[in-house]
Structure 1
Amino acid sequence: MELQFLGTGAGMPSKMRNTSAVVLNLSAEGRGYWLFDCGEATQHQILHTSLKPRKIGKIFITHLHGDHIFGLPGLIGSRSFLGGNEPLDIYGPAGLEEWLETTLRITNTHLNYALQIHEIEAGIVVEDDEFLVVANSLQHVIPCLGYRIEQKPLPGKLLIDKVKETGVPNGPLLKKLKDGEDVTLDDGRIVRSHDVTGEPQDGFTVAILGDTSYCAAAVELAQDADILIHEATFDMDTGNLAKEYGHSTIGDAARTAQEAGVTTLIANHISARFMPSDVAKLKEQGEAIFPSLYIAEDFARFEWKDGAVIRE
Structure 2
Amino acid sequence: MNATWRGHSGFGLAGLLLVLALLCGTAQAQVTVTVNGNVAHADISLVSGLNTYEGEVTIEFDSPANLTVPNLNFQAQLVNSSDPALAARLPLGVAVDPAFPVLITIEPITVERIFASGMQLHETPDGNLRFLNAYHMEIHTHELVYTPGTPYRVFKAPVGGAFYDITADVNNGSVRGRGRSGGFSQFLLVKDTRPELVGLPGLGVPVIALLKVTELELRIVAALLDNVLRLELGALLTNVQLALIVLDYGTAIAQLDQMILRIEQEAGTGIPNVWRAQRDLVNDAGDLDGLARSLRYSIQRLNGGP
Task: Name the TM-score, length of structure 2 as normaliser.
Answer: 0.26
Larger radius of gyration: 2
TM-score (norm 1): 0.26
